[in-house]
């Protein structure tokens, strides 16, 4: 089955740039989607189709995807960005939804 | 405004059954694929089941044969029938609306608030 690998944690100072990676075999051939989840809340879509943003999501959130790694980039990080972030793909070869294990973003 | 409201969670003994419901509003329910995703306390998200607009269904191996996803378009409702429940099924269960095509690029643009299922004796 397809596996997505994320670092358990990423730390960044306010105003700096956070990069959260999502590794998978030839993930560049898939569409990758990213969700933000704050404690006690449902996930929220922040990036879809590798690099598109839903309405209402700040431009500070961006995504890229190539080779074996997709990346969620959060520019000018704010305290309110502290959350868990999950990448997700649909594995069409097995008709399965796949999530990465999640990355906890800590704003120092 | 799109709303998804889950219900039906609770405490159930191992081997028992539970039926979750998800009431949808604010969009044409029959036009969207719908999925269930769960999250054990302190753990990550796990895809649980999918149903297409035509009623086609998909499951991971961990729940296949035990869980059944269904929909009733006339009632704008999604269901998850869970049988032979195990302690490992304990989680918050979310229903989620799907965008895109689940042959390649589907994702979840709206989520419910979740309903907690606890499997314990």
- Each residue of A23-68: pLDDT tens digit? 999 999 999 999 999 999 999 999 999 999 999 999 999 999 999 9
Q: Please report the pLDDT score of residue A67 as a whole number.
A: 97
User: B59: nearest CA in chain A?
Assistant: A96
Q: DSSP string covering B36-86, please?
A: EEEE-TTS-EEEEEEE-TT--EE--TTTTTTEEEEEEGGGTEEEEEE-S--
User: B92: nearest CA in chain A?
Assistant: A42
Q: Please report the pLDDT score of residue B104 as a whole number.
A: 75
Residues belonging to chain A with any Cβ–Cβ distance to chain B shorter than 8 Å: 30-31, 33, 35, 37, 42-45, 48-49, 54, 86, 88, 90, 92, 95-102
Radius of gyration of chain A (CA): 13
Q: Please report the pLDDT score of residue B101 as a whole number.
A: 82
Please report, for residues A68, B30, B73, the alpha-carbon distance to residue B27 in angstroms, rounded to integers and kept in the order given: 36, 9, 12
Which of A42, A49, A99, A102 to probe by mutation at the B interface, max B CB count within 10 Å? A42
How near does any CA of chain B get to the CA of A84, in Å?
A: 9
Please state the φ and ψ torsions of residue A8, each to the nearest 5 degrees: -65, -30
Q: Which residues of B touch A42 (CB under 8 A)?
A: 94, 111-114
Beta strands in chain A (DSSP E): 9-12, 18-23, 33-37, 44-47, 61-66, 69-74, 83-91, 96-99, 103-107
User: A33: nearest CA in chain B?
Assistant: B107
Q: Please report the pLDDT score of residue A46 as a whole number.
A: 98
Contact across the interface for B107 and A92, Cβ inside 8 Å: no
């Amino acid at each position: 089955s397809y596996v997505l690998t994320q670092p358990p944690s990423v730390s960044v100072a306010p105003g700096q740039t956070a990069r959260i990676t999502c590794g998978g075999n030839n993930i560049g051939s898939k569409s990758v989607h990213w969700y933000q989840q704050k404690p006690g809340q449902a996930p929220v879509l922040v990036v879809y189709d590798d690099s598109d943003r839903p309405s209402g999501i700040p431009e500070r959130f961006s995504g890229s995807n190539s080779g074996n790694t997709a990346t969620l980039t959060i520019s000018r990080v704010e305290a309110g960005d502290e959350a868990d972030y999950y990448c997700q793909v649909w594995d069409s070869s097995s008709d399965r939804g796949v999530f990465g294990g999640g990355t906890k973003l800590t704003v120092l | 405004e799109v709303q998804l409201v889950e219900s039906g969670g609770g405490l159930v003994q191992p081997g028992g059954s539970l039926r979750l419901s998800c009431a949808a509003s604010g969009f044409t329910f029959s036009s969207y694929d719908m999925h269930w995703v769960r999250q054990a306390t302190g753990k990550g998200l796990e895809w649980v089941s999918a149903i297409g607009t035509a009623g086609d269904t998909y499951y991971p191996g961990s729940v296949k044969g035990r869980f059944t996803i269904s929909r009733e378009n006339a009632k704008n409702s999604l269901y998850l029938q869970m049988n032979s429940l195990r302690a490992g099924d304990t989680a918050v269960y979310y229903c989620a609306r799907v965008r895109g095509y689940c042959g390649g690029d589907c994702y979840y643009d709206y989520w419910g608030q979740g309903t907690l299922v606890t499997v314990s004796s």
